[in-house]
Structure 1
Amino acid sequence: MPIEADLNIAEIPYDSGAIRFRYARVMAPDRTRWIRHGLFVEYHENGKLVSEGQYVDGKEDGLWRDFHANGQLAAEGRYRAGKEVGVWRFWSSAGIEEPSTNFN
């Protein structure tokens, strides 16, 4: 779907007021809903990252990273059109690499 609208930044808070989600979005061509398109970031309530990546036309696309509550990298891999592709790597909260998964 070609995107011809201006990007809009959404911020969704926790009940405490801290930001939980921040992402770019565009209005659907039929003007009935927002579609995630661009940078997406999710935060723990303490402000540290949970997840970051990109959306293209409402689907995850490109490099994504997930983090443990202590800030340690938990997972890293790629999406293409909303599906995991290639090798995804995983780490424990102590930073020890765990078995990877190949989504070919």
Structure 2
Amino acid sequence: MEAELHLAEIPYDTGELRFRYTRMLSDDGTRWIRHGLFCEYHRNGTVISEGHYEHGRENGLWRDFHETGAPAAEGHYRDGVETDDWRYWDAAGKQVVRA
């Protein structure tokens, strides 16, 4: 049986949207577990980070962005752990090599 998903929207203290994600109630009904699309936003409304959760752990492609909307990072997670090579960009759009 598929879990029932609920949309959560969490604001900054000043009212702008900070997080939007789907979640499900744990089997014992005691806590919420992130499951599905996740987005975090800058105060100006542009996306900071987006990706997917599966049963509370990051999975699949994740992307991070500068406040201008330009890409900042891109890579994959598997069961909450970074995998593969991640790519990074500075605010000017130049790819940055990280050790």
Structure 2 Cα separation of the partners of residues 5 and 67 of structure 1 = 30
Structure 2 Cα separation of the partners of residues 18 and 39 of structure 1 = 19
> 1:58 is matched with which residue?
56
1:72 is matched with which residue: 70, 73, 81? Answer: 70
**Which blocks of at least 5 consecutive residues in structure 2 are unaligned?**
none
Q: CA deviation at 1:16?
A: 1.6
> 2:93 is matched with which residue?
95
Counting matched residue pairs gives 99
Q: CA deviation at 1:100?
A: 5.1
Cα root mean square deviation, aligned: 1.2
Q: Does 2:49 match 1:43? A: no
Question: Alignment partner of 1:61: what SS?
Answer: strand
% same residue:
58
TM-score using structure 1 length = 0.91
Question: Alignment partner of 2:97: what SS?
Answer: strand
Q: CA deviation at 1:5?
A: 2.2
Which one-letter code corresponds to 2:23 in the other structure?
R
Q: Deviations over 1:32-66 (max 9, x none)?
A: 00000000000000000000000000000000000
Q: Deviations over 1:4-42 (max 9, x none)?
A: 421000000011211100000000001000000000000
> 2:18 is matched with which residue?
20
Which one-letter code corresponds to 2:84 in the other structure?
G
Question: Alignment partner of 1:31: what SS?
Answer: coil
TM-score using structure 2 length = 0.96
